[in-house]
Structure 1
């Protein structure tokens, strides 16, 4: 006879993931409302739920104010590890200077960019990271945040 309770581990994993997604979406919606985001170019919910990409939101000084829970699976950092820090924390000696400059120019111009860059995990190992970056403006046209949508390439 099968034991129906053995499947609870699987059910609980799915429930935990859905709860994490809901928390991430709620936090991002709160940021959107507080900063009066206008015309966000990407559907953050679809990006997170269906594509399982990591979403990092920074302030205008490039300090991380939110990272989705799934960042841990990509690079070993928790949300607590990254909040308040710069995305430069993921870079190191093998990070391509040309890609860093390309990103810096786009950020300075407040324009979107796409890059594949060598980043470092918390344990020091390297990985290729595909980044799509977007400036976020409020309804008055003022820059209020940057969004990076990332996944291991």
Structure 2
């Protein structure tokens, strides 16, 4: 039996290590993602400092998974979205500014679901819900939203962590 192992080892063709290019590209992509997340956290920390929110934004973002971030004022108008929102919906940051997130809803979005979300927002407590939204190209998608009221003494803004499911 040892002869067969030795024969196998002698007949092996050893290929040079060429995987560094794959690894380095993966590493670069991963670094790009972390840099983007750092920028998003910094932007939200800027808003947090400006509006003196009580919530720990960094903790919220690191403890929850999301693709998109949407920050609205108390009138529910979008004041900021992250790059993930653009990737998920197809809408540019400039286009969505000052719109309400309801512009993403369409003909098959449940009226009951919209009413439930409005009521939960008015309760001023964090909640999760799933709603049918539409991308810029008209494609429908199920969107899980985690909405967090951001407060000083009273709610001043809402942060939505969103992901397509």
TM-score bin (small chain):
0.7 to 0.9
5 Å-filtered alignment, 1:29-44, equals 29-40=45-56, 43-44=59-60
Please state which structure has a larger fraction of its residues in helix. 2
Instruction: Work out whether 1:130 is the aligned partner of 2:144.
Output: yes
- Structure 1 spans left out of the alignment, 5+ residues: none
What is the CA–CA distance in structure 2 between the aligned matches of 1:36 and 1:18, rounded to whole Å? 26
Q: Distance in 2 between matches of 1:87 and 1:78?
A: 13
In the TM superposition, residue 95 of structure 1 has moved relative to its aligned partner by: 0.7
Give 3-state SS (helix, strand or coil) of 2:83's partner: coil
Match of 2:95 among 51, 69, 81: 81
Structure 2 alignment gaps of length 5 or more: 1-15
Which of the two has higher C-alpha Rg? 2
For the residue of structure 2 that corresponds to 1:38, the secondary structure is: coil
Tell me the CA shift for residue 41 of structure 1.
8.4
Alignment-derived partner of residue 4 in structure 2: none
Backbone CA RMSD of aligned residues:
2.4
Contact 2:41 2:58 in 1 (8 A): no
C-alpha deviation, 1:24, in angstroms: 0.4
TM-score by length of 2: 0.77
